[in-house]
Amino acid sequence: MDTQLRRKLGAKKRIVVKVGSSSLQHPETGKLNFLKVERLVRELCDLKNCGMDICLVSSGAIAVGRTFMGMEKRPHTIARKQACAAVGQARLMMTYQKMFAEYHQTAGQVLMTKNTMIDNVSRKNAQNTFEELFRLGVIPIVNENDTISTYEMQFGDNDTLSAIVASLVSADLLILLSDIDGLYTDDPRENPDAKLIHEVDIIDERYLFMAKESTGSDVGTGGMATKLAAAKIAMKSGADMIIANAQNMGILHQIFEGSFTGTLFHAHYDEDFYISDYIEETMV
């Protein structure tokens, strides 16, 4: 990576990091991988100590709840999903709170719905809450409010949510930690000749064609198509976006050292882009 790009990433001040369900769990059992969660927390705390505002968008509530209650497969009914989310969100936050405290950091929970963003008063209140958390030195941990909102769960993916949060808080970088290195010319799990695309300046039809509605696990909801949708939101909101592999949480400090493997989407701020209008037009 060239010096100019390394300097650009090193100058970021407000970062949103999204981590998916499959990145937090042991694939054999579905239970939390505490070593990975601990490394994620340590990396985020170190970035916070560097002077950055850090926000974590974390999936995993339903998956954590289902394994804690002994369910082998992902629940399919809305009521069962919400029950799992109610149990899992509490346990996930308990784990995060304990681990962040080990590194002398305070974490706070923010649960959002689409209505939070569509309603002008609710959106402003959420924005004020985030700003005050950042001023107080708190790391917000964000998830969808799956426990009470069927409306939310019908479309839900946290790739999109993380981009919405990045837009709301005026972040200058969004990092999606996934189970894949980045955007490829084809699905690398099926095509060994697929090539990693290192940088994207404009998302055109060629890239949209590459994105397939698939994931590598049964615990997540977002495939590459949702990541490109997130990239569109982030770029128009003025934030760069990176897709990187969560297999090694050390990828976070590698990003800011300029030595990471992944796909960087360059921001193109659109002053006519309003996130509330986008949600109403595309998600309602």
pLDDT of 220 reads 41
pLDDT higher at 105 or 191: 105
Q: Residue 220 and residue 27: Cα distance in Å, rounded?
A: 12
Among candidate residues 113, 251, 230, 262, the one with its CA nearest the CA of residue 166: 230
- Please give the share of the chain, as a percent, with pLDDT higher than 90: 51
Indicate the domain borders of the chain. 3-282
The class that CATH gives domain 3-282 is alpha beta
For the cut 50, the answer to whether the pLDDT of residue 217 exceeds it is no
Q: How confident is the model at residue 225 (pLDDT cuts 50, 70, 90)?
A: confident
pLDDT of 34 reads 94
Q: Residue 187 and residue 110: Cα distance in Å, rounded?
A: 34
pLDDT of 191 reads 84
Query: Residue 91: what residue type?
Result: R
How is residue 158 written in tokens? 């946290």
pLDDT of 262 reads 93
For the cut 80, the answer to whether the pLDDT of residue 213 exceeds it is no
For the cut 60, the answer to whether the pLDDT of residue 216 exceeds it is no
Q: Residue 260 and residue 57: Cα distance in Å, rounded?
A: 21
Cβ(14)–Cβ(208) under 8 Å? no
- Beta bridge partner(s), residue 16: 55, 174
Place of tokens 């992944």: 262
pLDDT of 212 reads 57
pLDDT higher at 277 or 93: 93
Q: What pLDDT, in 10s, does the model give residues 96-139?
A: 999 999 999 999 999 998 888 888 999 999 999 999 999 999 99
pLDDT higher at 72 or 89: 89
Region of poorest pLDDT, from 115-119, 138-142, 193-197: 115-119
Q: What pLDDT, in 10s, does the model give residues 19-76?
A: 988 889 888 888 899 999 999 999 999 999 999 999 999 988 888 899 888 887 888 8
For the cut 90, the answer to whether the pLDDT of residue 146 exceeds it is no
Residue-averaged pLDDT of the chain: 87
pLDDT of 147 reads 75
For the cut 70, the answer to whether the pLDDT of residue 151 exceeds it is no
**Directed axis angle between helix 158-168 and helix 275-282, to 10°?**
150
pLDDT higher at 274 or 218: 274
> Distance of CA 104 to CAs 75, 131, 256, Å?
36, 20, 22
pLDDT of 94 reads 95
The model's pTM = 0.91
